[in-house]
Structure 1
Amino acid sequence: MEKQVFFSIIAILIAFLFGGFVFGSMFNLEPILITEKANNSSHQNLFAEPIKNFVRESPKMSFIQENSLLGVTPPTSVTPQVLGSILGGVEIDESGSGIESESNGIIEYLVESGDTLLSIAAKYNISLETILWANDLNSKSLIKPGQKLIIPLVSGIIYYVKKGDVLSELAETYKGKVEEIIAFNNLSDRGDIFIGDILIIPGGKMPPKPKPISQAQIPIGSSYFICPQTTCHITQGLHWYNAIDFGGKCGDPLYAAASGTVQTIRYGWNGGIGNYLNILHPNGVVTTYGHIQNSLVVPGQTVSQGDIIAIMGGKPGMPGAGHSTGCHVHFEVRGARNPFAN
C-alpha cells in the first residue's frame, strides 16, 4: 500500500512539471518570435547582402578572471564547427565525414633559401596564379628568403567583402560556384556575407580586366582604437591578416577597441582562428577578436569603446581555441592600418 502511494505521488509530480514546461513554452513562444523579428528589421545595414536568418541564442553563466560571474550567450545548438573544435580541430560536415581543418585555410609562408614561386605552388598543390593574385605579384616578380607570402590552401581567389557585395555576383565575376564558396568558407546555408569578411573563392579566376580585390586603407587617428586587452602585452607582431596577438590569462575580459556594431560571432575551428567575433565601426573598418572563450555580446548589438565583449581563450585543448599555443586574443583590423603594429 505504501509503495502504491509513493509511486502515485511521483507520477503526480512528473505530470505537474511536464505540464508547466509545455504551457510555459506556449506562452513564451510569441514574444520570442516578435523580438527576433524586430531585431532583424533593425540591423539590415550590417550585411553585405540582406539578412536571411539569425541564430537564436540562450543565456549561460561564465566566470571572468575566476572571480566575476557574467551572462554569456553561446549558440543554442551544437553546430558542426563547434563539434569540430571540441573534437580537436577536425570539423564534421552534415554527412558526418571528417574534414581536416587546414584544408580550407590560408597560411603565412616564410620564404626559404632556394624557394621559387613555382616550387612553393607545387609544394602546396596550388596554381602559380593563386600565389600571384594573393600577394599582388606577377610572373616576373622575384622573392627572397625571409619574405612572407600569403598562401591559400586551394587554387583560387582571396576576396575581401565590401558593402553591397552579393555572393552570386562574386561567383559570376570570379568564375566560382556559389555552393563551393558557401561550403569552403563555412557560411550559412543561405550564404550570408558581411562587410570585412575574407572569402576564398575555390577555383576562382581573375577577370580579363582585373578588379581590385585588396582593401583600401581608411586613415584613422592614433587614438581611434584602444588595446582590446588590459595589459596590452604583445606576444606576436604583425601577421595574417593585419593582426597583432595580445597575451594574458584565459578568462581575462576583452574590450571593444572602438564603438561599433557586432556583425558576426562564429564558434569552432574557423581556419585556426577559433571562436571569434567581428565589430563593424562607423568609419567602415572591421575589427576581429579571435581565440575567444565566450562572447558576451550578440549580432546586431551596439557597443561602446571599452565595453567588455568577450572572454579570452586560446589554451590548447580548450573548445574553440583554434590553432593556438596559449591564452591570447588575435586582434585583426580590416580596412585600416593596425595601430599596434610597429
Structure 2
Amino acid sequence: MSERCFPRFPDRDIVKLIVETRTETPLDTAPISVSRVLVFANGEKPQAVELADRISETLTAENISVFRMSLGQNVAEEISLDTIDMVVSLGGDGTVLTCARAIAEYDIPILAVNLGQFGFITEIRQDEWYDAFHAFLSGNVGVSRRLMIEVRLFRDEVCIATCTGLNEMVVAATGISKIVNLTASTSRGRLGSYRADGLLVATPTGSTAYSAAAGGPILHPDLDAMILNPICPFTLSNRTLVMPGHEVVRIQVDHSQRTDVVMTVDGQEAHALKADDVIEVRRSHHRAGIIESDRRSFYEVLRSKLHWSGGR
C-alpha cells in the first residue's frame, strides 16, 4: 500500500483500505477433530520436558495419539508428518522458529506454548495449554497464517542452498566493526547500494525481532508484506522499506568485498558468502499456522512485552 496521504478520502475509507491489506483467516466455529499430536519440546529446558510428560499423559487419556520430538532431531525422518493434526511447541520463540521450518510444507497448526524469556510468537503460557488446546478443538480460536520467506543462495548463477524462514534473513559481516557492501534490487528494478553492518529482509512475524532492534517498523503478523532494513547503514539517507509480499528481493555481495560475510535465516541456519554471491528472497508457498490465544491479542502482547505506556 502506498505511503501517500489521501486527504480527499473520508476516514472510514482509509480505515477500509488498511484493513483490506490484511490476510486474516476467518474464525471457524465448527469443532475440529484432532487424533494425532506431535509435541515438539526444547530438551535443554527441564520444564519443557516435564510439561511434555504431562501433556502426553493428559492427551493419551483422551484417546489422542501423542508423538514426542526434541530440538536437533530430524522430524521428517522420525515421524510421518502428513498424519499429524497438530504440533505443540514447548520452549521459546526459537523453538517455534525451528518447528515452523521443519513442518512448513505440511500445513500443520502450531500451539506455541511459551517457556522462554521473551516469547513474542508464543502467546500461550504453560498453565494455559489445556484450555487453549480445547478452545482450538471447539473452533473458538483461529489460526494466524504467517507469511514465511524462501531464501535461495546463488553462486556463479547456480543455486547452492535453499532455506525457509519465519522471522528474517540477514546478511552481515562476521568480524567486529566490519562493513559489508551490498546491492539490493527487486523484480521492478534496482533499489540501491548499501554500506552497512548488514541488511535484513524480515516478515511481519520477524518485525518484532532483529528488525525491530535495528529500528524497523512493527507489522501485524497477518499482513502480507516484507521489510528491507539496513543495519547501521553508513549514511543518513537509507531508510527501512516495506514491500508487498509478492515482491522478490535480490541482494548481491559486492565484487570488492574482502571481509567475511555470512547469511543467516532465523538466526539458526547460516551460510558463508563470497564476493558476487546473490541472495534471492521471496514469499514462500508455505505459511506457518500459529494457533491464536483467546486470552490476549497481538496488541496486548505488544503492550506487555515492549512495555508500551509502561506495559499497562
TM (norm. structure 2) is 0.32
TM (norm. structure 1) is 0.30
* Greater percentage in strand: 2
Higher Cα Rg, which structure: 1
